[in-house]
Amino acid sequence: MTIRRDIGALVDWWSRFRDDPRAELRRLPGALRRFPKALLLWLGGLDRRIIYLLTALALIIPLSCELMYAPPRMAQAEKLFDFIEGMKERDERSLVLVSVDWGPQTRSELEPATLAVIKHCMYSRVPVVVMTLVYAAQGFTVEIPREAIDAVEKARRDAGLPEDEVKVVYGRDWINIGYQLGSVNAVRGIASDLPSQVSTDVNGTPLSDFPIMRDVANADDFGLMVEITGYVGFANMWLQWFKKEKPVYISLACTSVSVPESYAYLDSGQFVGLLEGMPGAAGYDRKLEETLGIPHAEKTYRAMTQQMFGQALVVILVVLGNLAYVVGRRVKEAA
């Protein structure tokens, strides 16, 4: 009804303007003075379908126009970057375990984070073990490393490296041990006796056949564990159970709604870094490009730009909605 009323008022004004344009132009200065208040009152009664339309346009236009803006720097993401970058320089274990614990419902936020971390490990020649505790994520443990390999090999070729230094070799630079059933029990098994818990890779080949896994016995042999998840309790599970004799450094990539509860672990030093949803992943991707020359993932930048437009619209509508409420209340009090 609101849309019909507004359209009807516009048609009536056009009819009056067409019949006597001079009279309508004489009313124009007074109308302009009343316009801000009238606009706010109109916005206060804006039909929800118009808001849905504006939201759709804010998300569709950046995507269709292929707009991409560089994301802001994220301090916690850069902490994780610096830690991985320094693993080879320090006299420590350099093996990284990445657990891809998310499903299709959080793919838009957590796939960019997973891709960025794996790309970094592969490019910096830090061996990485990929796994998942989530049945629905099995395909992602194959698809995302493949995309990371393409990006890393292209970056190395563009840097002019010899062809024998370009290739990312399975079993030497990375390995996929697939889906591990049992959640807590799987984590405890990997932490205490990995060969007993996991005997083969995702393809059924014995782990002892791969150089990357020959000297790996338990959690003490990992220099870093990166938990990437959209589920409640998974980060706590790794913090509680993934340990043996030596301290294991742990980092987290999570959805934006889970970020506030993660700061307590970050401030206490239990996490060495944090990828805060889509912004954290995009900031990490920017750091990779600026520092190592690895091209950013276009879909990550586009998604961030899309998110930026959508969030800007929400902020504008909230501000205008509150102003409309205040003006409307004053008008009622004056009447």
Whether residue 305 contacts residue 69, with contact meaning beta carbons closer than 8 Å, is answered with: yes
Residue 251 lies in a domain: yes
pTM: 0.81
**Which residue range is the domain that position 240 belongs to?**
75-308
Name the residue with higher pLDDT: 17 or 280.
280
How many other C-beta atoms can be found within 10 angstroms of the C-beta atom of residue 262? 19
Percent of the chain that is helix, strand, coil (3-state, to 5): 65, 10, 25
The mean-pLDDT minimum among 26-35, 77-86, 222-231 falls in 26-35
Distance of CA 139 to the CA centre of its chain: 19
Number of domains in the chain: 2
* CA angle 240–138–143, rounded 5-degree value: 120
Both 110 and 161 in one domain: the answer is yes
Question: Is residue 196 predicted with pLDDT exceeding 60?
Answer: yes
Question: Is residue 35 predicted with pLDDT exceeding 60?
Answer: no
β-strand partners of 253: 228, 275
Give tens-digit pLDDT for 75-134: 999 999 999 998 877 656 689 999 999 999 999 899 999 999 999 999 999 999 999 999
> What is the percentage of the chain residues whose pLDDT exceeds 70?
87
Concatenated DSSP letters for 296-309? PPHHHHHHHHHHHH
What residues contact residue 63 under an 8 Å CB cut-off, 6+ apart? Answer: 302, 306
Residue-level pLDDT at 111 = 95
Question: Is residue 3 predicted with pLDDT exceeding 80?
Answer: no
Both 40 and 110 in one domain: the answer is no
Q: Compute the radius of gyration of the chain from its Cα atoms.
A: 27
CATH number at residue 189: 3.40.50
Distance CA 282, CA 96 (A): 21
Whether residue 218 contacts residue 240, with contact meaning beta carbons closer than 8 Å, is answered with: no
Question: Is residue 296 predicted with pLDDT exceeding 70?
Answer: yes
* 179-196 average pLDDT score: 92
Question: Is residue 6 predicted with pLDDT exceeding 60?
Answer: no
Residue type, 138: Q
The mean-pLDDT minimum among 42-51, 173-182, 275-284 falls in 42-51
Residue 70 lies in a domain: no
Name the residue with higher pLDDT: 14 or 233.
233
Concatenated DSSP letters for 45-111? T--HHHHHHHHHHHHHHHHHTT---PPPP-HHHHHHHHHHHTTTTTTS---EEEEEE--GGGHHHHH
Crossing angle of helices 107-123 and 75-85, in 10° steps, is 30
Both 46 and 112 in one domain: the answer is no
Both 132 and 228 in one domain: the answer is yes
Question: Is residue 34 predicted with pLDDT exceeding 80?
Answer: no
Both 99 and 236 in one domain: the answer is yes
Residue-level pLDDT at 182 = 87
Q: Show the tokens assigned to 313.
A: 């619209």
Residue 160 lies in a domain: yes
Both 324 and 215 in one domain: the answer is no
Both 211 and 256 in one domain: the answer is yes
* 139-165 average pLDDT score: 92
